[in-house]
Amino acid sequence: MRLVQIVGARPQFIKLAPVSRALACHPEAAELIVHTGQHYDPQLSQVFFDSLAIPPPAVNLEVGSGTHAQQTAAMLERIEAYLLAERPDAVIVYGDTNSTLAGALAAAKLHIPVAHVEAGLRSFNRRMPEELNRVTTDHLADLLLAPTDAAMQNLAAEGLAARAQQVGDVMYDALLSSIAVARDRSRVLEQLQLGARPFGLVTVHRADSTTAAQLPAVLAVLERIAAAVVPLVFPVHPRTRAALRSCAPQWRAPQGVRLIEPLGPLDMLRLTEAAAVVITDSGGLQKEAFMLGAPCVTLRAETEWTETLTAGANCVVGHEVSAALAAVQRALAEALPTRVARARRAAALYGDGQAAERCAQQILALAARERGAGGAAAP
């Protein structure tokens, strides 16, 4: 059974790692990893393959950056050519990036069955490119591998229940297999000389946070938190670095806001676990914070991971300074048992660490059904 896994951006490498490992335990499956080249900086790409022991991609399509249409169009063209040459039994896509959409669309039009890992997430904000990508991908895919109850409900509400399976969260599997290694190998706390003092961990990269209109508001939030509550460590995504140069060229990080290069996955886990609070507009980091017990403050108007809110693990504050300050202050006042209880709650919500194996079984069944039906890859 030949399975093509299509990835291209940082969060997808994390989700790919456990699924790839699970498929390797099924000798009837041969995987071909296609890297679209959406993320190309070594710190956003190669470090994930190295740190998470992901097999090297069979091909890198090297699409690089561009507008959404340029990037997606280049991927579609190159993925289609690859799929026509390889004729796999199924294609696997992850999450909500342009690589996800391009992989699903190219495969669906060639009548190759598509499995979507992390299906059913919704922010209900159609201004987010990720929301458009995930909604479209779910409607194109043949097998929807959903992480949570909320994701299953979203799929049912769109008439997609028959294709959906709740498998648990592959990011939880990824975290379980990496956290001990991170504690053992990562020296990031020592390198940054963080000692025992509390610090906040910041990431910002969403399109909506990095516009000329919104970036100053985000910077104002960070400055006030650093001045009034806790110093911040901020690994800066290349998109944000570029936005700082073009939208706020005069801005210099104030005392208490430490800008650093993007981190590899093990250093990131180590910092997240050690942080007094996580402040982010990322989707995956909200969840990783929850899994590691760290309180999260989300610099967005909404979240697709709604269970983080009901569990009291996350506070959505938009770009409001006073709401952000209050949430960070509450987080700093938390006692250790609260963090321990939070991590236990996350474990109960996101599965038992076997999500990737369930994905592998479902994907192999999908590919086998397709083989039984005679396959249909055709231009």
Active site residues: 205
Q: Tokens standing for 205? A: 């990269």
Residue 48 Cβ, how far from ligand UD1 at the closest point, in Å? Answer: 11
298: contact with ligand UD1 by CB under 6 A: no
Q: Are 99 and 9 in contact (CB under 8 A)?
A: yes
Determine the 3-state secondary structure of 170 from DSSP: helix
Q: Work out which of 40, 258, 259, 347 binds ligand UD1, going by CB under 6 A.
A: 40
Determine the 3-state secondary structure of 91 from DSSP: strand
Task: Name the residue nearer to ligand UD1 (CB basis): 278 or 325.
Answer: 278
204: contact with ligand UD1 by CB under 6 A: no
Q: What are the residues facing 315 on neighbouring strands?
A: 297
- Which of 127, 261, 239, 241 has the alpha carbon at shortest distance from 192? 261
Q: Work out which of 53, 65, 220, 246 binds ligand UD1, going by CB under 6 A.
A: 65
Count Cβ atoms within 10 A of the Cβ of residue 252 and give its class: 0-12 exposed, 13-18 middle, 19 or more buried. Answer: exposed
Q: Tokens standing for 248? A: 């706020």
- Which of 134, 133, 129, 132 has the alpha carbon at shortest distance from 147? 134
Residue 136 Cβ, how far from ligand UD1 at the closest point, in Å? Answer: 12
Task: Name the residue nearer to ligand UD1 (CB basis): 237 or 345.
Answer: 237
Q: What are the residues facing 117 on neighbouring strands?
A: 94, 145
Alpha helices in 36-67 (DSSP H): 46-51
Residues 134-163 that bind ligand UD1 (CB under 6 A): none
Residue 325 and residue 339: Cα distance in Å, rounded?
A: 20
Query: Rounded to the nearest 10 degrees, what angle do helices 10-24 and 170-185 cross at?
Result: 100
96: contact with ligand UD1 by CB under 6 A: yes
130: contact with ligand UD1 by CB under 6 A: yes
Task: Name the residue nearer to ligand UD1 (CB basis): 119 or 230.
Answer: 119
Q: Work out which of 116, 163, 205, 339 binds ligand UD1, going by CB under 6 A.
A: 205
Q: Work out which of 5, 20, 36, 38 binds ligand UD1, going by CB under 6 A.
A: 38
242: contact with ligand UD1 by CB under 6 A: yes
Residue 118 Cβ, how far from ligand UD1 at the closest point, in Å? Answer: 11
41: contact with ligand UD1 by CB under 6 A: yes
Instruction: With contacts defined by CB under 6 A, name the span among 9-17, 53-61, 222-230, 302-310 that binds ligand UD1.
Output: 9-17
Residue 178 and residue 176: Cα distance in Å, rounded?
A: 6
Q: How far is the first Cα of the chain from the last one, in angstroms, to the nearest whole number?
A: 20
Task: Name the residue nearer to ligand UD1 (CB basis): 40 or 361.
Answer: 40
From residue 22, how far is each of 19, 152, 265, 356 by CA, in Å?
Answer: 5, 23, 19, 6
39: contact with ligand UD1 by CB under 6 A: yes
**C-alpha 151 chain-centroid distance:** 15
62: contact with ligand UD1 by CB under 6 A: no
352: contact with ligand UD1 by CB under 6 A: no
Residue 124 Cβ, how far from ligand UD1 at the closest point, in Å? Answer: 16
Residue 379 Cβ, how far from ligand UD1 at the closest point, in Å? Answer: 26
Tell me which amino acid residue 173 is: D
304: contact with ligand UD1 by CB under 6 A: no
Instruction: With contacts defined by CB under 6 A, name the span among 26-34, 235-243, 244-252, 267-275 that binds ligand UD1.
Output: 235-243
DSSP string spanning 289-346? HHHTT--EEE-SS--S-THHHHTT-EEE-TT-HHHHHHHHHHHHT--HHHHHHHHHHH
44: contact with ligand UD1 by CB under 6 A: yes
Instruction: With contacts defined by CB under 6 A, name the span among 8-16, 28-36, 182-190, 354-362 that binds ligand UD1.
Output: 8-16
Residue 212 Cβ, how far from ligand UD1 at the closest point, in Å? Answer: 15
Give the interface with ligand UD1 as residue ranges (CB under 6 A).
9-11, 38-41, 44, 65, 96-98, 129-130, 205, 237-239, 242
